[in-house]
Amino acid sequence: MDNVTTITTSAKKQRRWQLPVNKLLPWLLPVAFLAIWQLSVSTGLITSTLVPSPWAIVQDGVDLWQSGTLQKNISISLYRATVGFAIGGSAGFLLGLANGLSQRSRALLDTPLQMLRNIPHLSLIPVVIILLGIGETAKISLVAIGVLFPIYINTYHGIANSDPELLEMGRSYGLSRWQLFTKVIFPGALPTILMGVRYALGVMWTTLIVAETISSTSGIGYMATNAQEFMNMKTVLLCIALYALLGKLSDLIAKGLESTFLTWREKGVTHNG
């Protein structure tokens, strides 16, 4: 017993002296990049009016925050993104469920949906602007359309590819249709559906960026176009950084969803079955 404790503590001590190389390594290049960038601007190697230093961008962010424009634009963008995602996501999910579960619904809807899917949704921007103007509805609809298809496809495939052996087992074990859905079909489809969610979150941001850049008077995308007109590189780069952060945020949300709903997959396969 004593031996064991000594061994573990000494192992811990040993580890404390080593640099956690594997944890630091991924950050090496980004940090080096920022450092070199900052240095090149500070030393005048790069013209700061053309390419501002990272620090200047941060300061620009602080200024915009203090004047209130930054929060306002971020929240309007977040609002468009979430509402568009909620509408398109639920529509795609419901269509996927219907077509995955019902032969009749599939026969009616799958082919038209597959045809529509081939239209790049961003090509609809002019149509949407003509029909809906440049108001909120236009941007929210574009996000919704963009998000709908990945969620639809993944829900549909996840449901339609339910394991026939598990279905047969469930039926022969007397499960009701509802139980069959909640205990067998849906949990089996969930990994595929969440993959669709993750992908759709990416589509959501790209769509919003494009929509706000082309036709808007608010939002992060508008901030960027507006800054571009004044040749304000600081704010343009700040907007790009914001998009990256928001993208990272949705990635974390997707990961969070996966680890909440797919705990069973993380339970290691300790034995072969």
Partner 1 sequence: MAEPIVTLQSIEKRYGARTAIHDVSFQLYPGETVALVGMSGGGKSTIMRLIAGLEKPTSGRLAYRDPHIVTRVMFQNDRLLPWLSVQDNVGFGLRDPAVTELLAAVGLAEAADLYPAQLSGGQRQRLALARALLAQPQLLLLDEPLGALDALTRRNMQDLIMRICAERHLSSLLITHDVQEAARMADWIIVVKDGTNVYQTAGAKGQGPTVVASVGEDVLQVILQPAVTP
Count residues contacting partner 1 (CB under 8 A)? 25
Give the contact letters, 144-163, x = binds to partner 1 (CB under 8 A), - = no.
--------------------
Q: Tally the C-alpha atoms within 13 A of residue 80's C-alpha that lie toward its C-beta.
A: 32
Q: According to CB under 8 A, which one of 166, 210, 240, 257 is a site residue for partner 1?
A: 166
Asked if residues 129 and 215 have their Cβ atoms less than 8 Å apart, the reply is: yes
Helix, strand, coil % (nearest 5) of the chain? 85, 0, 15
Alpha helix segments (H runs only) across 68-218 = 69-101, 103-117, 125-132, 136-160, 164-172, 177-179, 186-214
Which residue, 55 or 173, has its beta carbon nearer to partner 1?
173
Angle 211-245-129 (CA atoms, 0-180°, nearest 5)?
5
Q: According to CB under 8 A, which one of 62, 107, 169, 252 is a site residue for partner 1?
A: 169
* Interaction residues for partner 1, span 223-262 (CB under 8 A): 262
Q: According to CB under 8 A, which one of 26, 68, 120, 273 is a site residue for partner 1?
A: 273
User: CA-to-CA distance for 188 and 183, rounded, in angstroms?
Assistant: 8
Does residue 183 touch partner 1 according to CB under 8 A? yes
Which residue, 78 or 167, has its beta carbon nearer to partner 1?
167
Which residue, 111 or 259, has its beta carbon nearer to partner 1?
259
| Joined tokens for residue 49 | 């009016």
Q: Minimum distance between the CB of residue 100 and partner 1, rounded to whole angstroms?
A: 17
User: CA-to-CA distance for 40 and 38, rounded, in angstroms?
Assistant: 6
- Contact residues toward partner 1 (CB under 8 A) are 165-166, 168-170, 172-175, 179, 183-184, 187-188, 190, 262, 264-265, 267-273
